[in-house]
Chain A
Amino acid sequence: DTAVSQTPKYLVTQMGNDKSIKCEQNLGHDTMYWYKQDSKKFLKIMFSYNNKELIINETVPNRFSPKSPDKAHLNLHINSLELGDSAVYFCASSQSTAPWEKLFFGSGTQLSVL
């Protein structure tokens, strides 16, 4: 069983569309994240949730809205997609928010906005 799974793997869409990426973890972790990896391969935090509560919201356009229906799921909805949103989006989880906890990553969703 995959520990952190996200779908879809690839997402190709037109500018202006709305899309969602889903993430699920079966590790029993309390904390989940969305990271963005840009074309230069730089990984940056977007959001994190702890026990369904939003705890980190970096400088991300409000077109991006995360939702955590329960501890095991964290979805990302993006409205009015723009060309600059093209990137690879990674979901991750950790046991807690402690800064020494290792993160477990999903395999990524490559978003291409045309």
Chain B
Amino acid sequence: EDQVTQSPEALRLQEGESSSLNCSYTVSGLRGLFWYRQDPGKGPEFLFTLYSAGEEKEKERLKATLTKKESFLHITAPKPEDSATYLCAAGLRGSQGNLIFGKGTKLSVKP
């Protein structure tokens, strides 16, 4: 069964304290690994798509990387406004657009 697992479930950081979120996937035919940010009471907002192992993408303090089994979202010197739930999702060959989501990591950054 196709599965996406995120860890940790929750992460508390001090402002400026860098860390990484993990997304491991067991799927057949990965065609895209997605990262989304979700703020309370809002829908997920797209951050990155990674297509192949070794690929990296950056946006401000966020950097996403991909291997054959997992993806990492690295947060460098986070700020309180980075507090949100980060969702990982897999787009699969033949899926017709359906994404398989992980349960997310809730990040809290304290000033």
Contacts and interface: CB of A to CB of B under 8 A. Distances in A.
B85 to A, nearest CB: 7
Interface string A92-114: 10101111111111111000000
Contacts of A103: 34, 44, 46, 97, 99
Given A4-B43, A106-B43, A97 B96 contact: yes
Interface stretch (B12-20, B62-70, B86-94): B86-94
A99 B99 CA distance: 8
Nearest to B42: A107
B78 interface: no
Contacts of A105: 36, 43-45
Assign chain B's interface to a size class: 20 to 34
B49 interface: yes
A99 B97 contact: yes
A108 B97 contact: no
Given A106-B43, A107-B42, A100 B32 contact: yes
B31 interface: yes
What 5 A-B pairs come out closest when comparing CB atoms? Answer: A105-B43, A99-B91, A99-B31, A97-B97, A100-B32
